[in-house]
Structure 1
């Protein structure tokens, strides 16, 4: 569990991501009261009916079931992932509910809360980080789920760690263009303004600290996308160094389970050579 919490904290080291999760929690709180939850289900059902009627989504047994928004918890990485996935799936319905509440809410506080949540929801910042975190968490979620199991095969867990690192690095190195295209397409579908990526980026913090002016694309690609992934890799490497991973994998050869099923002379020799060379003669 400690490792799961470390990944959550690592992602929030980037202030834009921390702000995103606060906005995510606020949006869910506004639309997830009992009455509004019913409105959300109704709006989502209407949206699904329209998409099916216009052949924009496939139908089939178990597909397009009417769910609701998932609340996230600070101690569970997978709960954040579920919140993000459910919000993406129900984005149109959530927008409709917030628009209605912002206009027709019975009190000024309801209208104000809904207006604030709607502005966050329909901002490019929010949509960009929503898609980015879905990509990152989609990779790390399997590892997080495995590490939370009470009984875990060490060899399988270490292979999952290695593959997770590799996939995250691959995402960092070659997936920026695909991510930006996906976000842009989503924004066009939902009438969300896309900033000019070649324009100069400036915010209050950068201006007050007199930092060099960068482009909008640099801000999203380097300050957010690359930074979040680097924090994830740093955390994984600190918790699961290459040396520690190798030691655990080689040590499984000594596991007596299933009559030493994993026994390997080669692995035992490598274990001695790489970690206990002073304790054994040639």
Structure 2
């Protein structure tokens, strides 16, 4: 589960990566960098606090970073967002294979389900990581937050320990959220629709009789003569070959 940890924490960038609102990969990169340089960031904020310009912001940021709950959430988020990172990069590529991306997304949903089913074991390592960073930076590991009888805006399920509290109220809900969005955006039944992507010349090599049949069945109401689709595909391949339309064709 932590095979990618060494790579994620081997970054030696001296500047905090820019957090882009529209690029999810930047969120993973920023959190990875922050967790690796947590002590250095706190030192820099200490220096800024002694300056005239920016001292109020520095104080606010430092108080945030010294909050153990924020640290736990950062560790959890960095870990979980590391899983969809390769898929995010693939989807942003101009040569993205939509069918393969769908397969990866479905596999990703399964991986998150496995993490959910083994949440206690998975979160134990994350909590230890957060605790190590906290101890190194004199961050107080707070006692189990008080459980309120009624809350509208914040998860606060009952728990016996601090670790259990964050596992139940932070770790598992985020996994549920990710699984829901993967299932909503990459539903099993849309795969036949995506097979039409293989009609692009550069992906002809992926076309098989079964896939052509699936395309015909999926778009039966849109194709005038769906039974003749194999012949149409053959003609399309010949046409693109004559016109030299090939690898340059992308979406």
Q: Same fold (TM over 0.5)?
A: yes
* Residues 1:90 and 2:34 are matched in the alignment: no
Query: In the alignment, which of 175, 181, 201 is matched to residue 229 of structure 1?
Result: 175
Q: d(CA) in 2 for partners of 1:203 and 1:118?
A: 28
Contact 1:143–1:160 (CA under 8 A) maintained in structure 2: yes
* Residues 1:243 and 2:189 are matched in the alignment: yes
CA RMSD, Structure 1 to Structure 2 (Å): 3.5
Query: 1:84, CA displacement in angstroms?
Result: 1.1
Q: d(CA) in 2 for partners of 1:265 and 1:77?
A: 37
* Residues 1:67 and 2:28 are matched in the alignment: no
Q: Secondary structure at the match of 2:20?
A: coil
With normalisation by structure 2, the TM-score equals 0.69
Query: 1:227, CA displacement in angstroms?
Result: 1.1
Q: d(CA) in 2 for partners of 1:154 and 1:123?
A: 41
Query: 1:99, CA displacement in angstroms?
Result: 1.6
Query: 1:195, CA displacement in angstroms?
Result: 2.6
Q: How many residues align?
A: 210
Task: Specify the structure having the higher radius of gyration (Cα).
Answer: 2
Give a deviation string over 1:115-168, Cα, whole Å, max 9, x none: 221111111111111111111111111111111122311232122212221222
Match of 1:167 in 2: 111
Contact 1:200–1:214 (CA under 8 A) maintained in structure 2: no
| Structure 1 outlier segments of 4+, above 6 Å | 276-280
Give a deviation string over 1:46-85, Cα, whole Å, max 9, x none: xxxxxxxxxxxx9xxxx76442012212222122222212
Q: d(CA) in 1 for partners of 2:159 and 2:180?
A: 25
Q: d(CA) in 1 for partners of 2:202 and 2:157?
A: 61
* Residues 1:201 and 2:135 are matched in the alignment: no
Contact 2:159–2:168 (CA under 8 A) maintained in structure 1: no
Match of 1:21 in 2: none
Q: d(CA) in 1 for partners of 2:145 and 2:200?
A: 62
Q: Give 5+ residue unaligned stretches, structure 1.
A: 1-57
Q: Give 5+ residue unaligned stretches, structure 2.
A: 1-5, 228-251
Q: Write the mapping of 1:97-176 to structure 2, written as runs, cut at 5 A.
A: 97-102=44-49, 104-106=50-52, 110-174=54-118, 175-176=122-123
Query: 1:202, CA displacement in angstroms?
Result: 3.8
Q: d(CA) in 1 for partners of 2:149 and 2:62?
A: 22
**Greater relative CO (CA pairs within 8 A, separation 6+):** 1
Give a deviation string over 1:216-236, Cα, whole Å, max 9, x none: 445422222111111111111
